Homo-oligomer: A and B are copies of this chain.
Amino acid sequence: MNYTIFGESHGPAIGVTLTEVPAGLALDMDFIEAEMARRRPGQDGLSTPRREEDRPEILSGVFQGHTTGTPLCAVIRNGDTRSGDYSQLKACPRPSHGDYTGRMRYGGYNDYRGGGHFSGRLTAPLVFAGAVAKLLLDPKGVGVRAVISMAEGVEYPSREQLEQLVLAAKAQGDSVGGSIEGTVDGLPAGCGEPDLDRNVEGIFARHLFAVPAVKGVAFGAGFGFARMRGSQANDPFVMENGRVRTRTNHAGGINGGITNGMPVTFQAAVRPTPSIALEQDTVNLDTGEPVKLTVQGRHDPCILPRALPVIEAAAALAAWDVLNLPR
């Protein structure tokens, strides 16, 4: 299944075109919309008050409630945009956002309003695609889930801890980073290859790095391996109910680029939202002058809760790819 996400934050619409969706999938729109609702902002005091409807319209690839097997295009119309908020950003790029690189890549023709194609809003169609992948994975016994494994240095924060540190950052016009832990259960042993194109770790990483704000991806013990010896790191094989298992799962379910039948586990580092209310240094690209920038508009002090369904979507798309590798 390939997906192409299109759209700009303040253009007519955003959406996704999916190819190679198997025919005959009952497209459970209630599930899809519930997944999209998990990502929707403005649900509590922790995220941007921009309201999005995010109701996807299916233009193709579905007939009588089932996928047809031909390309599926889903579109979400944009509304509630305030283009005026962003006019300053054309010349003065926000630090660590895509404004500058977008201008360099696209020769100044990119739609800079609200981040354009770089906007976090573009993760809505990604969640749509991931929800389709989840519907495909479910009957195969494959499940995907994610939790916040760190927020501003706090490991596995409780809801209260998270709220506390996010509100503290918000009060200061700041944002917080963290990490998300993902688990994919049910992938059979023997999917993947050690080589470049079909390495399971490479496939997951490629999908996860396509999520804005993800700056690191690690499997199993991940960067913890850097503090280990082989005798600690190795996962001994054992028989369990007639099946080969490993006693530990430091490898995160992958040896030599191939699934070993244990859950695939990963960590994704999520950088703090670059859009903060604090004054920042930037330059005016037209004049070369230094500029003190104060970003107007509505921003998330912490995207971690909303990023969970996005990371799950990327992982589900990766898991579907992995499950369909030649075996």
Contacts and interface: CB of A to CB of B under 8 A. Distances in A.
Interface stretch (A31-39, A42-50, A203-211): A203-211
Interface string A185-197: 0000111111110
A302 to B, nearest CB: 10
A269 B223 contact: yes
A199 interface: yes
A7 B59 CA distance: 7
Contact of A152 (B101, B229, B278): B229
A20 B234 CA distance: 29
The bracket for how many chain A residues form the interface is 35 or more
A135 interface: no
Contacts of A179: 223, 226
A228 interface: yes
A98 B255 CA distance: 5
B230 A176 contact: yes
B70 A176 contact: no
Interface of A: 3-8, 11-15, 17, 19-20, 22-24, 57-61, 63, 66-73, 75, 93, 95-98, 100-102, 104-111, 116-118, 122, 150-153, 169, 172, 174-179, 189-196, 199, 201-202, 205-207, 209-210, 212, 214-239, 242, 244, 246-247, 250-252, 254-261, 267, 269-276, 278, 280-283, 285, 288, 290, 324, 326-327
